[in-house]
């Protein structure tokens, strides 16, 4: 039981929270590329991304795992993004810092989505790498290719967003 719920029910809630975080993150990320602030979507995105990390720590995991490490890094990125956006109001270097940390936190959610998909989705599971302690070499390249493509896309989109997202400054026609 986790916070009075069965592990299955809690997992379902965590997955729904995560999917909301990912969908709203896509909206916010493409808003940044279009130089649109989208404050409502951004607040929902950041709230659900924080909830994803928070609920992830509630699972009964013993010891330090890659999942815990991912959650810690994501939380640190989110703290910086929240400070940049709400305390520093994207002034000066805080704008790019916000874009980088927000996109990186989003990538971590997608990274975990890919890991979980290879573990849980039957047709992907056959292509999933064999995992062993602490960082065994993957047996199959499908997983590496999926993660590599995601990383390249996020780096490209992050760079584009950092260049184009200038709230209050219209894009040239």
- As a three-state string, the secondary structure of the chain is CECCECHHHHHHHHHHHHHHHHHHHHHHHHHHHCCCCCHHHHHHHHHHHHHHHHHHCCCCCCCCCHHHHHHHHHHHHHHHHHHHHHHCCCCCHHHHHHHHHHHHHHHHHHHHHHHHHHHHCHHHHCCCCCCCCCCCCCCCHHHHHHHHHHHHHHHHHHHHHHHHCCCCCCCCC
pLDDT confidence of residue 121? 80
Span 37-67, pLDDT tens digits: 899 999 999 999 999 999 999 998 888 888 8
pLDDT confidence of residue 128? 64
Residue-averaged pLDDT of the chain: 88
Does residue 123 carry a pLDDT above 90? Answer: no
In this prediction, residues 122-142 reach a mean pLDDT of: 62
In this prediction, residues 77-96 reach a mean pLDDT of: 95
pLDDT confidence of residue 127? 64
Paired residues of 2 in beta bridges: 5
Question: At 143, is the pLDDT very low, low, confident or very high (cuts 50, 70, 90)?
Answer: confident
Question: At 165, is the pLDDT very low, low, confident or very high (cuts 50, 70, 90)?
Answer: very high
In this prediction, residues 64-78 reach a mean pLDDT of: 92
pLDDT confidence of residue 140? 59
pLDDT confidence of residue 133? 52
pLDDT confidence of residue 171? 52
| pTM, entire model | 0.85
């Amino acid at each position: 039981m986790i916070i009075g719920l069965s592990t299955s029910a809690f997992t379902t809630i965590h997955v729904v929270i995560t999917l909301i975080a990912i969908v709203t993150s896509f909206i916010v990320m493409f808003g940044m590329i279009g130089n649109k602030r989208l404050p409502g979507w951004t607040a929902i995105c950041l709230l659900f991304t924080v909830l994803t990390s928070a609920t992830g720590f509630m699972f009964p995991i013993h010891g330090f795992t890659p999942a815990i490490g991912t959650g810690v890094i994501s939380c640190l990125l989110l703290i910086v993004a929240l400070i940049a956006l709400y305390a520093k109001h994207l002034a000066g270097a805080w704008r790019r810092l916000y874009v980088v940390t927000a996109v990186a936190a989003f990538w971590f959610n997608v990274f975990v989505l890919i890991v979980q998909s290879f573990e849980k989705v039957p047709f992907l599971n056959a292509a999933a790498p064999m995992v062993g302690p602490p960082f065994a070499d993957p047996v199959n390249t499908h997983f590496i290719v999926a993660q590599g493509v995601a990383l390249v896309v996020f780096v490209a989109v992050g760079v584009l967003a950092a260049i184009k997202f200038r709230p209050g400054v219209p894009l040239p026609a």
